[in-house]
Amino acid sequence: MSASFSHSPSIPLSRRLWNAVTGRTLGRCDAKKGLLDIWWERRTARLRLAEMSDHNLQDIGLTREDALKEAEKPFWMA
């Protein structure tokens, strides 16, 4: 899995991780999706992040510690 990872301080880390893991951009409010859909996708993306190899994490500019910290967040937290 390859993804680009932007080190933009204006975008919170959780949204940058979402973008990197899913290849999609999630804005502040995605009016087309319901809250449950967003939570489900967030949970799925975090599970994928936790399963990524060290090589892939390095490609997106993360350490294993960063990935696990994000993956341990509850699905309702951005």
User: In terms of residue numbers, what domain contains 36?
Assistant: 13-22+32-71
Is residue 7 situated within a structural domain?
A: no
Is residue 76 situated within a structural domain?
A: no
Is residue 6 situated within a structural domain?
A: no
Question: In terms of Cα–Cα distance, which of 51, 9, 34 is closest to 21?
Answer: 51
Domain count, the chain: 1
Q: What is the pLDDT of residues 18-29, one digit of tens each?
A: 677 776 665 655
Q: Side chain identity at 66, as an amino acid letter? A: D
Is residue 77 situated within a structural domain?
A: no
* Euclidean distance between CA atoms 75 and 31, whole angstroms: 18
Is residue 53 situated within a structural domain?
A: yes
Q: What is the pLDDT of residues 19-65, one digit of tens each?
A: 777 766 656 555 556 777 888 889 999 999 999 999 999 998 999 99
